[in-house]
Amino acid sequence: MDYETPSAFAKRIVDEAVANAFKNGVKAGKKNVGTKTVIMSFLYKDGIMIAADRQVTGGYKIVRKNFPKIFRASAFSAVSFCGTVSMAQIVAKIFKNVLASTKFRIGEEMPVRGQIRELEELMQTLGLYMGEIGVELHFAGLDIKTGRPHLLEIFEDGCVLRPDSPFIADGSGGIEAKTKLTDYFKTRNPREMEFDEAMRLALQTIQMCAESDAGVGDPRLQGATLATITMKDGFSFVDEATVNKFIAEVCK
């Protein structure tokens, strides 16, 4: 069997996705980016904290109350999303398979900078095929050699922005989240922030967004998804019991 390169695999999956989209009557160019969610990533003492609400809506209807908006990319990186769920799932499928294919071919995981480049090119390719695909991504990762953190926003046209702050936040609750995090980090050095403090900050921010935005799921009712990336443990989701413990403490 001939070896299929990562780029060839990505093109094949994109072709299939586009064909299915048009077969099912999906119109390209429909813009849904940044709607009805909140996602954020910020630095803390041990690495990177990633957080998102769990609610998924369709129009005025709540479709899911426990949907993960964060996925593991590699041992030391993750991607979270806001926007159209179906397209985010396509992006996640392609990206994870490209990384797995690369690891199989060269015997080690793709460096963080290479992952960023692949994700940028994937978003550009999907945008070229389908117009505005309605998805924005957050990439969070640690360089396994230097420990340097990477936080990036990747837009649907493949544009990559590196923040000049220790955090990124998006979604319909993104403005409130950015305001909360900006104020917090004015007086707090993220390198001095312990895990417990980072958990409280993430959950307080999600709750604040939920109280002013009906599209954001309230952690008191639906929980929240939190994950960390550290040099010691790599990427890992915070277990449900720990999340619920902090929700009970923080979200009154």
Q: How many whole angstroms separate alpha carbon 53 and alpha carbon 209? A: 10
CATH top-level class for 6-21+30-250?
A: alpha beta
- Residues of the chain falling short of pLDDT 70: 1-35, 131
Torsion angle of C-alpha atoms 14, 15, 21, 23, degrees rounded to 10: -170
Q: How many whole angstroms separate alpha carbon 118 and alpha carbon 110? A: 10
The pTM of the full predicted model, rounded to 2 decimals, is 0.85
Q: What is the pLDDT of residue 121?
A: 87
Q: What is the pLDDT of residue 157?
A: 77
